[in-house]
Each structure stands twice: as structure tokens, then as C-alpha cells.
Chain A
Amino acid sequence: MTLPIKTRVQADDFDLQTEIDALASANCDIGAVVTFTGLCRDDNGTLAALELEHYPGMAELEMQRIAGEALVRWPLDGVTLIHRFGKIVPGENIVLVVTASKHRNAAFEAASFLMDFLKSKAPFWKREIRRDGKVGSWVDARDVDQAALQRWR
């Protein structure tokens, strides 16, 4: 049986339940499904939207590489990664990680690993668009995100 790895880069929103069902219905041995959803956060009412730029082609490839790495490390029955691009307003979804396994620990840990690597290795860049209409600055990478990778070494 080939493991279901699904990675998508899309402008459109995604539906959490649809993705869970797609993964869980494929295999009745799955006992645990963990999901992480990353949302666009309103920055004290000053943010109108985020504009997400990505590297078409490499974004998909890198997400597949990251998912493949998770499958080497944990006994998973499936991984779904979805990352949106384009203009995303506060409250909207940006990213989805779904992991499935027989038992919960593998699914929890793999989901955390996948998010840490998506943040620092998947070629996406956020720029702020302010409520006053100004195109704001590019979001800076955070040291804490880089440090998060270290715990998986």
C-alpha cells in the first residue's frame, strides 16, 4: 500500500473536515488524526490582509520532501499539507497539516515537526497590507522559528 501523502499549494480556502475524512476513510487502521490550522492573525486591528508570495514548483517539492521526512521518522498512515498563497484576511486559513497514525503520539509529534519545517523551509513569504491601505513590510523570520528546528535534530 502506498502511503497517502497529499500536498497542495492553492489560492482557495480548504475545508478541515473534508481533508480529515479523505485521510481517515482510506484506511480503517487509523486510530488517530491530528490537525493543525494556521490562521491569519489580526495585528491589534491594524492588519487588512497578508499577501503570501511563493516559489511555484519548489513550494510543492519542498512540502513533499518535508512530508517524506516525517514518514521516515514516525509510523504514519497519511499526511496532508495544504498551504495557501495570495491575499488572506485576518481570521482566514493559511496552512493545514493533517497527520494520521495508529496511535496518537506519532500523529501529534509529526504534526509539530511538519509545522516547524513548513515555517522555515517551505518557500513562502508574508507581506503585510495595513488598514490605512499602505503596503507594509515583509514579515521578518523569527529566531524562535529557526530555533524550533533544532529540537528535531
Chain B
Amino acid sequence: MVKLVYFAWVRERIGKSDEEINLPDSVRTIADLLDHLKQRGEGYAVALEVPEVIHVAINQEHCQHSDLIGDAREIALFPPMTGG
């Protein structure tokens, strides 16, 4: 099980702030995960329509789409940050 957390318009489009899911063995990288999530429903498909703009953090640290998920406990998906 991995905990997924969503922020800002990713959270709104998916319709929830977090969830725990089981990932199939075929999902190895973050890019695989985004592809996999798109199949879960219309909200996911809309949120992840342009995967290139989605930022991802594994265990609260920024990562790349090519990174392996490994034994991540928490994966966060969010739009480009606009703090400051």
C-alpha cells in the first residue's frame, strides 16, 4: 500500500485529498504511476491530462517522473508551486 496525497487543482480535479492504494507490479516509475492513475476515472484523467506539468514528491522530497517508486510510503502529486 502506498499513500497518495494531492494538492491544489490536482486535489480538486481528482476529488479527494488523499487515498491509499495497491499498485500493480507493472507500475515501477512515477511516469508509470501517472499512467496508471489516469485509468481510475474521469477526475484522474482530467487532473493528469498533461502529465509533464505535474510535480511529484516521494516521501516529501521532490523527484523526477523517471524515478523509481521503490518502497515509497507517501507520494504527492501537485501543480507547479506558487508560494512566496
Contacts and interface: CB of A to CB of B under 8 A. Distances in A.
Do most interface residues of chain A lie in helix, strand or loop, or is the interface mixed?
mixed
A21 interface: no
Interface string A108-127: 00000001001111111111
Contacts of A140: 80, 82
B66 interface: no
B79 interface: yes
Contact of A122 (B5, B9, B76, B81): B81
B5 A54 contact: no
B62 interface: yes
B60 interface: yes
A95 interface: yes
Q: How large is the interface on A (under 10, 10 to 19, 20 to 34, 35 or more residues)?
A: 20 to 34
Contacts of B80: 120, 140-141, 146
Interface in B8-61: 8-9, 57, 60-61
Interface in A96-142: 115, 118-127, 138-141
B83 A54 contact: yes
A141 B52 CA distance: 14
Contacts of B70: none
Interface of B: 5, 7-9, 57, 60-62, 76, 78-84
20 contacts: A53-B7, A53-B8, A54-B83, A55-B76, A62-B62, A83-B84, A119-B81, A119-B82, A120-B80, A121-B62, A123-B57, A123-B78, A124-B82, A124-B83, A124-B84, A125-B79, A126-B83, A138-B8, A138-B9, A141-B79
